C-alpha cells in the first residue's frame, strides 16, 4: 500500500475479459472475449464492467447483465466467479470491492456466474438465488410479533455470546459459499443463520424446529452435501467460519434426537 497522498491514476491498463454470455435460462452459454484499452487501477471491478457495457451499448450490442446494488460489500447482490474464484482473488472481499489495481497491464480475466443447480442462470452473470429466501422462510426467524416484546434489557446476553452471534449474523447471503463448494452445498449459509439464532436466548424456543426445517428446505432445493472441503469459508467475503457448520450439525442432531411429531409439523409460525 502506498503511503503517498494523492496517488496518481494516470497509468491505465489493457485488460482482456472473457465473459460468460447466456441469453436466458434455456439458452446455451458461451465465453465472449472483450478487450479494454483504458482501465484505471482505481476502478472497481464492476466499474470496469460498466465501462465495457457503455461501449457495448454504443456499438449496438447487448450489455453484460450482472447483479449489483450497494457496491460496498454489504447487500450480497454481486456474484461473479473471477478466474475460477467466487468474488475473485482478494480474501474477505466482495467483487464490488475488488479494485483493478489488483491486476496488471495485459492481464486476461475470466468472468463467470455462480454455478450451482440450485442457482439457475437468469441471464449472463445473473443467477436465481431465490432458494435462499425459501430456506429462510422455512425457519430462519424468531416467531414473535410487534407489540409482544418485553423491554430489550430484560434479555441479557453476555458480550462474548453476542459477538459470536454477530459473527454468524454477518452473512450477506451472496451465495459465494455455494459457488465455491465442489458439491454446491449451502451448509455455510444455513449454518450461519442457525448459529446466529441458536446462540441467543431469543432463538432458544425454536432451536429444534429451526434446524430441522432449514436443513430440510435446503435439501429440497437441490443443494449438495457438505463433505468438508471448506472452500466455502475461503470464499466467504465476510469470513463466516466453518465452526458454524459444526454447530449446526450439533443443533440438527440434537433436534433429530428430540424430534417429536409436533416439532416438524409445518405450522409455519
Partner 1 sequence: MSAALSPPTARLDAKCPGGPIEERWDKHRFDLKLVNPANKRKFHALVVGTGLAGASAAASLAELGYRVTVFCIQDSPRRAHSIAAQGGINAAKNYPNDGDSIYRLFYDTVKGGDFRARESNVYRLAQVSNHIIDQCVALGVPFAREYGGVLANRSFGGAQVSRTFYARGQTGQQLLLGAYSALMRHVGSGRVQLCARREMLDVVVVDGVARGVVCRNLVSGAYERYAGDAVLLCTGGYGNVFYLSTNAKACNVTAAWRAHKRGAFFANPCFTQIHPTCIPVSGAYQSKLTLMSESLRNDGRVWVPKQKDDARPPSAIPDEERDYFLERRYPSFGNLVPRDVASRAAKERCDAGYGVGRTKLAVYLDFRDALRRDGSAAIREKYGNLLQMYAKITAEDPYQVPMRIYPAVHYTMGGLWVDYNLESTLPGLFVLGEANFSDHGANRLGASALMQGLADGFFIVPYTLGGHFAGRKLAPVSADQKEFVASEQAARARTERILAVGGARTVDSFHRELGRTMWDLCGMARNAAGLAKAKTHVRALRAEFWENVRVPADGARLNQNLEHAGRVADFLEFAELMIDDATQRTESCGGHFREESQTDDGEARRDDEHFSFAAAWEHRGDGQPAALHKEPLTFEYVKPSQRSYQ
Segment 23 to 62, residues that bind partner 1, using CB under 8 A: 23-24, 40-44, 46-48, 50-51, 53-54, 57-58, 60-62
Residue 178 CB, shortest distance to ligand FES, in Å, is 16
Distance of CA 170 to the CA centre of its chain: 11
Residue 54 CB, shortest distance to partner 1, in Å, is 5
Residue in the structure block whose three cell numbers are 454489504: 74
Segment 89 to 128, residues that bind ligand FES, using CB under 6 A: 94, 96
- If the CB atoms of residues 203 and 224 are measured against partner 1, the closer one turns out to be 203
Give buried/exposed letters for 32-43 (b at 16+ CB in 10 A, else e). eebebeebbbeb
Binding piece for partner 1, criterion CB under 8 A, among 105-113, 180-188, 194-202, 257-265: 194-202
The grid coordinates listed for 261 are 411429531
**Residue 110 to residue 82: CA distance in whole angstroms:** 6
Residue 227 CB, shortest distance to partner 1, in Å, is 27
> Crossing angle of helices 130-139/187-198, nearest 10°?
30
Residues 6+ apart with CB under 8 A from 245: 187, 188, 191, 226
**Residue 201 to residue 152: CA distance in whole angstroms:** 12
What does 265 interact with, of partner 1, ligand FES, none (CB < 5 to 8 A by kind)? none
Interaction between residue 130 and partner 1 (CB under 8 A): yes
**Of 190, 180, 182, 189, residue with least CA distance to 214:** 190
191, containing H or E segment: helix 187-198
CB 97 within 8 A of CB 246: no
- How many Cα neighbours within 13 Å face the side chain of 213? 23
What does 94 interact with, of partner 1, ligand FES, none (CB < 5 to 8 A by kind)? ligand FES
- If the CB atoms of residues 55 and 259 are measured against partner 1, the closer one turns out to be 55
What does 106 interact with, of partner 1, ligand FES, none (CB < 5 to 8 A by kind)? none
**Of 191, 190, 189, residue with least CA distance to 177:** 189
| Three-state SS at 55 | helix
Among 117, 202, 225, 227, binds partner 1 (CB under 8 A): 202
Interaction between residue 70 and ligand FES (CB under 6 A): yes
Interaction between residue 263 and partner 1 (CB under 8 A): no
Virtual CA dihedral for 95, 100, 103, 104, nearest 10 degrees? 160
Interaction between residue 51 and ligand FES (CB under 6 A): no
What does 247 interact with, of partner 1, ligand FES, none (CB < 5 to 8 A by kind)? none
Segment 82 to 111, residues that bind partner 1, using CB under 8 A: 93, 97, 99, 101
Q: How many residues bind partner 1 (CB under 8 A)?
A: 90
The grid coordinates listed for 143 are 416467531
Site string for partner 1, 152-191 (x = CB under 8 A): xx-xxxxx--x--xx--xx-xx------------------
Among 69, 128, 161, 219, binds ligand FES (CB under 6 A): 69
Residue 2 CB, shortest distance to ligand FES, in Å, is 25
Amino acid at each position: 500500500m502506498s503511503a503517498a497522498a494523492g496517488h496518481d491514476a494516470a497509468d491505465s491498463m489493457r485488460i482482456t475479459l472473457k465473459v460468460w454470455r447466456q441469453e436466458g435460462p434455456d439458452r446455451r452459454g458461451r465465453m465472449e472475449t472483450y478487450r479494454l484499452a483504458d482501465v484505471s487501477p482505481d476502478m472497481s471491478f464492476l466499474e470496469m464492467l460498466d465501462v465495457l457495457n457503455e461501449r457495448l451499448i454504443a456499438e449496438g450490442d447487448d450489455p453484460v447483465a450482472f447483479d449489483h446494488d450497494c457496491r460496498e460489500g454489504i447487500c450480497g447482490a454481486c456474484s461473479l466467479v473471477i478466474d475460477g474464484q467466487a468474488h475473485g482473488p482478494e480474501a474477505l472481499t466482495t467483487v464490488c470491492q475488488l479494485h483493478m489495481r489488483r491486476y496488471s497491464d495485459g492481464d486476461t480475466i475470466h468472468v463467470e456466474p455462480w454455478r450451482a443447480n440450485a442457482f439457475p442462470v437468469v441471464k449472463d452473470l445473473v443467477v436465481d438465488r431465490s432458494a435462499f429466501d425459501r430456506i429462510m422462510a422455512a425457519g430462519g426467524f424468531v416467531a414473535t410479533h410487534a407489540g409482544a416484546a418485553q423491554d430489550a434489557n430484560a434479555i441479557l446476553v453476555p458480550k462474548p455470546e453476542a459477538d459470536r452471534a454477530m459473527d454468524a449474523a454477518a452473512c450477506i447471503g451472496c451465495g459465494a459459499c455455494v459457488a465455491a463448494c465442489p458439491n454446491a452445498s449451502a451448509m455455510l449459509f444455513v449454518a450461519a443463520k442457525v448459529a446466529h439464532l441458536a446462540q441467543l436466548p431469543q432463538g432458544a424456543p425454536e432451536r429444534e424446529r429451526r434446524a430441522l426445517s432449514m436443513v430440510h428446505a435446503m435439501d429440497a432445493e437441490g443443494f449438495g452435501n457438505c463433505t468438508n472441503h471448506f472452500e466455502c469459508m475461503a470464499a466467504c467475503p465476510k469470513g463466516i467460519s466453518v465452526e458454524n457448520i459444526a454447530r449446526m450439525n450439533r443443533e440438527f442432531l440434537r433436534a433429530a434426537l428430540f424430534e417429536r411429531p409436533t416439532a416438524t409439523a409445518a405450522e409455519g409460525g
